[in-house]
Amino acid sequence: QAKQRGCSQHLAWLPELQAAAGRRFELLQALREALAQGAIGIELQPQVELESGMVVGVEALARWHLADGSTIPPDAFIPLAEATGLIVPLGEHVLRLSCEAAARLCAAGFAHVRVAVNVSGVQMERMDVVASIERQLAATGISARQLEVEVTESTAMEGFMAVRDVLDRLRRLGVSVAIDDFGTGFSSLAHLRRLPTDLLKIDRSFIQEIDLGASRSALADLVIRLAGRLDLKTIAEGIETREQAEWLRDHGCELGQGWLFARSLPLDVLLEWLQAHGGRVEV
Ligand code: C2E
Ligand code: MG
Ligand code: MG
Ligand code: MG
Around ion ligand 4, residues with a beta carbon closer than 5 Å are 181
Average pLDDT, consecutive stretches of 10 residues, N- to C-terminus, the chain (283 residues) = 55 81 90 97 98 98 95 95 95 97 98 97 95 97 98 94 96 98 90 95 94 83 96 97 96 98 98 97 90
Q: Do 156 and 179 meet the contact criterion of CB atoms below 8 Å apart?
A: yes
Ligand 4: centre distance to CA 203 (Å): 5
Choose the residue to mutate in 129, 237, 239, 241 for probing ligand 1, maximizing ligand atoms within 8 Å of C-beta. 237
75 lines ligand 1 (CB under 6 A): yes
Q: How far is the CA of 118 from the centre of ligand 2 (A)?
A: 5
* Among protein residues, the one whose CA lies closest to atom 42 of ligand 1: 118
pLDDT value of residue 5: 52
Count of residues for the chain? Answer: 283
Going by alpha carbons, the residue nearest to atom 35 of ligand 1 is 74
Query: Does residue 16 line the site of ligand 1, with CB under 6 A?
Result: no
Report the distance separating Cα 241 and Cα 249, nearest Å: 13
- Output the pLDDT for position 7: 57
**Ligand 3: centre distance to CA 180 (Å):** 5
| Model pTM score | 0.94
DSSP 8-state code for residue 74: G
Dist. CA 31–CA 78, nearest whole Å: 10
The pLDDT score that the predictor gives to residue 2 is 46
Bridge partners of 54, per DSSP, are 280
Mutate to test the pocket of ligand 1, among 77, 118, 155, 281 (most ligand atoms within 8 A of CB): 118
pLDDT at 241: 96
Residue with the smallest CA separation from ligand 1 atom 9 is 61
ipTM: 0.98
DSSP secondary structure letters along 149-197 = EEEEHHHHHHTHHHHHHHHHHHHHHT-EEEEEEETSS---HHHHHTS--
Residue 240 Cβ contacting ligand 1 at under 6 Å: yes
Asked if residue 146 lies in contact with residue 115, where contact means CB atoms within 8 angstroms, the answer is yes
CA Rg, the chain, in Å?
21
User: Is 178's C-beta closer than 6 angstroms to any atom of ligand 1?
Assistant: no
Q: How many A from CA of 57 to the centre of ligand 4?
A: 17
Work out which ligand 1 atom sits closest to the CA atom of 240: 18
Residue range 224-251, pLDDT digits in tens: 999 999 999 999 999 999 999 999 999 9
- Sign (positive/negative) of CA torsion 222, 227, 233, 236? negative
CA of 180 to the centre of ligand 2 (A): 6
What's the one-letter identity of residue 32? R
Q: Is the CB of 148 under 6 A from ligand 1?
A: no
φ, ψ dihedrals at 120, nearest 5°: -95, 165
Spatial contact of 162 and 124, defined as CB atoms under 8 Å apart: yes
